[in-house]
């Protein structure tokens, strides 16, 4: 099967200012295979995908598709050459209907400069039916479940006659069962001759799906395309981490002794839905002191509502929330924080901290007694800065000045700042929402260590995560959310299948 490689890129170099995102990456792929690009968060996988698909221009390197040179930086050029990409964050405007989005994004249009809605919708409906996707094309994208939206994104690329398809972290938002469906579809595509480049960061998924794999670590290609049959998990893991401490937890000792106190109790709590996000629907559970309770579920099934009701951003319309025996559902956000309820929000860049304000303002907890060193109502900036610096140093944040803006820190560092603020001081319960998303192994390990530390000190931790591996690794119990309700609470000895089932609800 010696044919010219279907895709060949050589010596790709990408820089963001002083940071080298990719150095000297070369890849050569044959037709009709599933190739996985594996690496930790921050290794450069998405950067490579964006360079290949024409979104960004590398400082150096060449690209050839089916033997022909393709210029960088032009999505149109790469699409014309047969290469297309399904981004991690979906590229189709969520406010559009399916038909409008496909019409907008495809190079093959169904209508002209002006089009008739009926004709265009009928044409796209036919195309989708052909591809086996049963969705009314007049549906608005944001109202569709994640896996359907993703299927449409893939369909868009295929309609453009893509011969090489890049998928950037396609499994990130899917439940175990829908992941299987996706893999089956990808295998079908491969058998039909499409070359697939799938970017993943989970070892198990790579072994299950890929024919060949290459590994990126800190921008460098530490393993060129190699058949997965020739590799074993340990070797791959070594190459991925490269001597960094493993984040595999020591054997889990459950801290749940008998007579464990209930710390935080939700009893029949309901909250209103907000747009596509479901509200809580008669949610009841208990968080015990000294435990980490994981919250699993496909994203968009009420986890955000849970976090917001916990923190006080959203008022519950029914039910009670008790903290150490006292009702708190009517308490406002700062009262809850004063009482010891802390949160590490979902989005560290917009909800957890400010990218534009200096570190000392981000590290300071805005509670009234915290302003000291001066006469009321004035505050002492110096005292605040000193205190912030102490907190930052305590948590190992790498910084040069407390005045530098939050946006100058890396993801992991910024998370440390947030943890310094939230976990410093008396903590009774912490809600951590997707705290390790986008972080590399080292930063992830730090977050886990911190969560374990507060558990050790007797606090309770609610860990919301869409990463089942993470949940199994560090949680004592796992609660599954589906449609805004609790679909089940499991011990950490449960099987993946059980949890996966609960996540999607009885689909066989």
Tell whether residue 95 is a contact of another protein (CB under 8 A).
yes
Cβ proximity to another protein, 256 vs 333, nearer residue: 333
Mark the segment that binds another protein (CB under 8 A) among 104-112, 169-177, 191-199, 218-226: 104-112
Indicate the helix (H) or strand (E) that contains 469.
helix 468-474
Structure-token match 């530390």, residue found = 453
Find the binding residues for another protein in span 278-317 (CB under 8 A).
311-313
- The C-alpha angle with vertex 474 and arms to 441 and 259, in degrees rounded to 5, equals 155
Find the binding residues for another protein in span 240-279 (CB under 8 A).
274-277
Cβ proximity to another protein, 116 vs 246, nearer residue: 116
Tell whether residue 378 is a contact of another protein (CB under 8 A).
yes
Mark the segment that binds another protein (CB under 8 A) among 34-42, 91-99, 123-131, 174-182: 91-99
Write out the two tokens for 26: 């070369």
Strand partners, 405: 358
Identify whether the C-beta of residue 311 lies closer than 8 Å to the C-beta of residue 288. Answer: no
Question: What letter does residue 46 receive in the DSSP assignment?
Answer: H
- Phi, psi for residue 347 in degrees, rounded to 5: -105, 105
Tell whether residue 116 is a contact of another protein (CB under 8 A).
yes
Minimum distance between the CB of residue 115 and another protein, rounded to whole angstroms? 6
Minimum distance between the CB of residue 32 and another protein, rounded to whole angstroms? 26
Cβ proximity to another protein, 206 vs 306, nearer residue: 306
Minimum distance between the CB of residue 200 and another protein, rounded to whole angstroms? 20
Minimum distance between the CB of residue 351 and another protein, rounded to whole angstroms? 4
Query: What is the Cα–Cα distance from 137 to 141, expressed in whole angstroms?
Result: 9
DSSP three-state, residue 203: helix
Tell whether residue 117 is a contact of another protein (CB under 8 A).
yes
Cβ proximity to another protein, 177 vs 361, nearer residue: 361
Find the binding residues for another protein in span 6-25 (CB under 8 A).
16-19, 21
Binding mask 333-362 for another protein (x = CB under 8 A): xx-xx-----x-x-x--xxxxxxxx---x-
Minimum distance between the CB of residue 353 and another protein, rounded to whole angstroms? 6
Query: What is the Cα–Cα distance from 30 to 211, expressed in whole angstroms?
Result: 11
Number of residues that bind another protein (CB under 8 A): 68
Indicate the helix (H) or strand (E) that contains 458.
none
List the one residue from 245, 325, 377, 506 that touches another protein (CB under 8 A). Answer: 377
Minimum distance between the CB of residue 456 and another protein, rounded to whole angstroms? 25
Binding mask 36-65 for another protein (x = CB under 8 A): ------------------xx----------
Query: What is the Cα–Cα distance from 201 to 296, expressed in whole angstroms?
Result: 19
Cβ proximity to another protein, 109 vs 268, nearer residue: 109
Tell whether residue 366 is a contact of another protein (CB under 8 A).
yes
Minimum distance between the CB of residue 436 and another protein, rounded to whole angstroms? 18
Q: 51: which residues sit within 8 A by CB, 6+ positions away?
A: 12, 14, 22, 57, 58, 61, 72
Indicate the helix (H) or strand (E) that contains 167.
strand 164-168
Minimum distance between the CB of residue 234 and another protein, rounded to whole angstroms? 33
Between helix 98-105 and helix 146-159 the angle, nearest 10°, is: 40
Query: What is the Cα–Cα distance from 365 to 345, expressed in whole angstroms?
Result: 14
Tell whether residue 398 is a contact of another protein (CB under 8 A).
no
Minimum distance between the CB of residue 85 and another protein, rounded to whole angstroms? 8
Cβ proximity to another protein, 304 vs 477, nearer residue: 304
Write out the two tokens for 267: 């009893």
Tell whether residue 331 is a contact of another protein (CB under 8 A).
no
Query: What is the Cα–Cα distance from 94 to 114, expressed in whole angstroms?
Result: 22
Tell whether residue 100 is a contact of another protein (CB under 8 A).
yes
Q: 326: which residues sit within 8 A by CB, 6+ positions away?
A: none
The 3-state secondary structure of 327-354, one letter per residue = ECCCCCHHHHHHCCEEEECCCHHHHHCC
Strands 485-491 and 326-327 turn out to be unpaired
Minimum distance between the CB of residue 222 and another protein, rounded to whole angstroms? 22
What Cα–Cα distance (Å) separates residue 2 from each residue in 5, 29, 435? Answer: 8, 12, 46
**Contact positions toward another protein, by CB under 8 A?**
16-19, 21, 54-55, 74-76, 79, 85, 87, 89-96, 100, 103-105, 109, 111-117, 274-277, 311-313, 332-334, 336-337, 343, 345, 347, 350-357, 361, 365-368, 371, 377-379, 381, 407-408
């Amino acid at each position: 099967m010696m044919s010219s490689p279907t895709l060949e890129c050589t010596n790709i170099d990408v820089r963001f200012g002083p940071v080298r995102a990719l150095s000297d990456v070369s890849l050569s792929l044959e037709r009709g295979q599933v190739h996985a690009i594996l690496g930790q968060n921050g290794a450069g996988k998405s950067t490579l995908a964006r360079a290949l698909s024409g979104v960004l221009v590398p400082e150096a390197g060449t690209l050839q598709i089916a033997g022909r040179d393709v210029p960088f930086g032009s999505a149109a050029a790469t699409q014309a050459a047969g290469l297309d990409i399904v981004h991690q964050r979906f590229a189709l405007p969520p406010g559009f209907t399916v038909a409008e989005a496909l019409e907008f994004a495809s190079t093959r249009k169904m209508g002209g400069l002006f089009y008739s809605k009926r004709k265009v919708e009928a044409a796209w409906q036919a195309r989708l039916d052909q591809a086996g996707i049963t969705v009314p094309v007049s549906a608005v994208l944001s109202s569709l479940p994640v896996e359907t939206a993703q299927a449409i994104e893939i369909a868009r690329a295929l309609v453009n006659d893509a011969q090489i398809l890049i998928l950037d972290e396609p499994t990130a938002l899917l439940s175990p069962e829908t992941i299987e469906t996706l893999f089956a579809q990808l295998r079908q595509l491969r058998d039909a001759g499409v070359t697939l480049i799938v970017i993943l960061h989970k070892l198990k998924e790579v072994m299950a799906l890929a024919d060949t794999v290459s590994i990126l670590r800190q921008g460098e290609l530490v393993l060129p395309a190699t058949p997965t049959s020739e590799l074993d998990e340990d070797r791959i893991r070594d190459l991925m981490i490269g001597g960094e401490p493993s984040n595999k937890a020591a054997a889990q000792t459950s801290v749940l002794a008998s007579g464990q106190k209930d710390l935080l109790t939700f009893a029949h709590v309901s909250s209103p839905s907000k747009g596509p996000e479901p509200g809580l629907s008669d949610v009841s559970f208990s968080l015990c002191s000294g435990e980490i309770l994981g919250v699993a579920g496909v994203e968009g099934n009420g986890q955000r509502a849970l976090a917001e009701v916990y923190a006080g951003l959203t008022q519950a319309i029914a039910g009670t929330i008790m903290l150490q025996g006292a009702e708190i559902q009517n308490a406002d956000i700062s009262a809850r924080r004063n009482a010891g309820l802390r949160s590490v929000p979902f989005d560290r860049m917009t909800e957890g901290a400010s990218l534009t304000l200096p570190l000392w303002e981000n590290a300071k907890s805005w509670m009234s007694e915290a302003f000291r060193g001066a006469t009321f109502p004035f505050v002492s900036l110096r005292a605040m800065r000193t205190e912030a610096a102490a907190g930052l140093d305590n948590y190992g944040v790498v910084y040069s000045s407390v005045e530098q803006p939050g946006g100058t820190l890396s993801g992991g560092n910024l998370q440390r700042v947030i943890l310094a603020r939230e976990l410093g001081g008396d903590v009774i319960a912490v809600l951590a929402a997707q705290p390790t998303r986008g972080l590399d192994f080292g930063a992830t390990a730090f977050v886990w260590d911190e969560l374990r530390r507060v558990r050790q000190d007797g606090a309770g931790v609610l860990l919301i995560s869409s990463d089942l591996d993470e949940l199994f690794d560090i949680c004592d119990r796992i609660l599954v959310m589906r449609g805004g309700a609790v679909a089940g609470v499991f011990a950490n000895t449960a099987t993946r299948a059980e949890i996966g089932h609960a996540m999607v609800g009885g689909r066989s």
